[in-house]
Amino acid sequence: MTSRAVLVTGASRGLGRAVAKRFAAGGDRVAVHHRDTAALAAQLVEELPGDGHVVVRADMADPPAVRAMVDAAADGLGGLDVLVNNAGIYGSPPAVPVLEAGYEQWREMWRHTFDVNLFGAANACWAAVQHMRAGGGRIINVSSRGAFRGEPEQPAYGASKAAMNAMAQSLAVALAPLGIAVASVAPGFIETDMTNEHLKAERGAAIRAQSPYNRVAQPDEVAAAVHWLATPEAEWATGAIIDMNGASYLRT
């Protein structure tokens, strides 16, 4: 496979970092996106094998910044073949249960979560397609099992990921004639710095027990699925949503 130009959003840490490493290990050139972790992003670029990697920055809730970031990635990489929409927020601003939330708190939680998780990803898709439309490409969205099982403590998060799935499937149909495949992975808990507090003590034991393996995913396991979806052999998986939750939530 020839070297491809790959943009990974939210790539400076956690799952995004693992995804960036996976693509670079396969010989691809990677644009490492971050919002406010410039040092971590620069460190990752230095660690990645191969040449031609770049750092790009944007707040995913800022539409003009997202478009400029995608264009900067394409300029720095010499094109754009793959977009991985990994950036997202969970519980920021702090989630408040519906029965306890004030109206302003409730509205702000939903607005900000959708601005980043859905609208930011949608805007990145639009901008990426402008670079892919002549030669095809791949878009992989990182969703969540919460899109299917419900998130009573994080309703805006679960709804944003369900909407992301619907967006990906609509784009899979719309973009197939251009040779652009669009698919999603839906992980459960992954052992990252974002989930570290949730995995401590008694709550962590309960979370691990949700899977018959009695553990949560490692970032590399989910990154492997993302990488496969970007391969030429995975074109027929366009529109698919691949569950990566260790049988902690099963759907038919």
Tokens representing 210 are 């949700």
> What are the start-end ranges of the H helices in 49-186?
63-77, 103-114, 121-132, 146-149, 155-175
CA distance linking residue 188 with residue 250, whole number of Å: 11
Burial 211-226 (b: 16+ CB within 10 A, else e): beeeebbebebbbbbb
Tokens representing 206 are 């309960």
Concerning whether 249 is annotated as a catalytic residue, the answer is no
| 8 Å CB contact between 159 and 90 | no
CA distance linking residue 21 with residue 113, whole number of Å: 27
Residue type, 198: H
| 8 Å CB contact between 107 and 154 | no
Task: Exactly one of 90, 103, 157, 213 is catalytic; name it.
Answer: 157
Residue type, 121: A
Give the residue numbers annotated as catalytic, written as ranges: 157
